[in-house]
Amino acid sequence: MAKALAKRYGADVKKAELAALCHDLYRKLDADGLAQAVRELGLDGKYAGNINLAHGKVAAAAMKRDFGIDDGDVLNAVSFHTTGRAGMSLLEKIIYVADGAEENRDYPGVEKVREAAFEDIDKACLMMMENTIEYVKGQGQDLDEETLSAAEYFRKILNTEEHMNSREQAMLAAKVLDSKKAQNIVIIDIAEKSSFADYLVIAGGGSERQTLALTDDVEDAMAKEGFFPKGIEGKNSPGWILMDFGDIIVNILTKESREKYDIEKVWGDCAFVDMED
C-alpha cells in the first residue's frame, strides 16, 4: 500500500518501501527490551513504558545507528507512523495512511479511509486521526499531543484547500519563486483558451541547478497547502521543468530555454495576471 500510494502521489517509491519495511521492526520488544533500547538509543524516558508510542522512535533511531540509514524523511516517516504530526511530509503521510488502511486492517470505517487514501491523502490522515482520538478517548486513555495537533493541522489545510482557488495557487507559486530569486515571473490566465489548466506560471532560473532548486521550493510550499503535483517533467534535463498541479502549471526555465521556446508568445492572446494585486 505504501508503494501504491507513493506512485499515486509522485513520491519516491524506494523510500516508501524502505520506511514501510522498517516501521514496525521493534513493535514486539518486551518491557525490558524496550527500556534497554530507550536507554541505549538515548531516547526520552517517557517512551520506556509505552511500546505503542515508542516503537516508531526506537525503529528510527536504530535504523540510523545500526543500518546507516540517514535519510531524514524516511526516518521521520518511521518515527511518526503511529501518531502523525502537524506539517507531515508527503512520505510521512503515506506511511501513516498505509499503516492504518492496508488490506489486513479491519475496523469500522477502514474502507472509507482506504478509499480516501487514494483520493486525498490529507483527508485520509484526518479520518484516521479522528478515529484514533475517538478510540483512545473511549478507552479512557490519554491522547498523544502529537496526534491532537496533527488533527488540528489537517482540519486547517483541508479548509484552506477548499478556499484556495486556482488563482491563489498560482499566486502562491509565484510568490515562492519570487522569494527564491527566480527571474521574470509571469502568470498567464489560460482558462478560456485551454482545457487542461487555469493558470500558467512561468519563471526563470539562472542555471540548471537553480531551476531544480526552484522546483523543490515550489513543491514544498504547495505541499504545505495540500497540493501535490500530478507530474513533474524535465528534471533529467533541467533547462525546462514543468510541474503539473492540475489547475495550475508551473514552468521553470533557464534563460536559453526560455528564449528558445518563448511560451509567453504561444499564450500571447491570454491575460497576464498583474502580480501587484
Judged by the rule CB under 5 A, the positions of this chain that interact with Fe ion are 24
Residue pair 127/112 in contact by the 8 Å Cβ criterion = yes
Q: Distance between CA 194 and CA 200 in Å, rounded? A: 10
Q: Distance between CA 78 and CA 67 in Å, rounded? A: 14
Q: Please, which residue, 24 or 168, has the CB nearer to Fe ion?
A: 24
Helices marked H in 42-184: 51-67, 72-79, 90-101, 110-119, 121-138, 145-163, 166-179
Query: What's CA 65's distance to the chain center, in Å?
Result: 26
Q: How far is the CB of 158 from Fe ion (least distance, A)?
A: 25
Residue 98: all three cell numbers together? 498505509
Q: How far is the CB of 146 from Fe ion (least distance, A)?
A: 14
Enclosing H/E stretch for 5:
helix 2-9
Q: Please, which residue, 24 or 102, has the CB nearer to Fe ion?
A: 24
Enumerate residues 6+ apart whose C-beta is below 8 A from 28: none
Q: Distance between CA 117 and CA 245 in Å, rounded? A: 18
Which residue number places its CB atom closest to Fe ion?
Answer: 24
Which residue shows C-alpha cell 477548499? 162
Q: Please, which residue, 54 or 121, has the CB nearer to Fe ion?
A: 54
Q: How far is the CB of 19 from Fe ion (least distance, A)?
A: 11
Q: Please, which residue, 99 or 189, has the CB nearer to Fe ion?
A: 99
Q: Please, which residue, 19 or 172, has the CB nearer to Fe ion?
A: 19
Q: How far is the CB of 3 from Fe ion (least distance, A)?
A: 17
Q: Distance between CA 217 and CA 176 in Å, rounded? A: 7
Q: Please, which residue, 24 or 244, has the CB nearer to Fe ion?
A: 24
Q: How far is the CB of 102 from Fe ion (least distance, A)?
A: 11
Q: How far is the CB of 54 from Fe ion (least distance, A)?
A: 10
**φ, ψ of residue 198 in degrees (nearest 5):** -95, -40
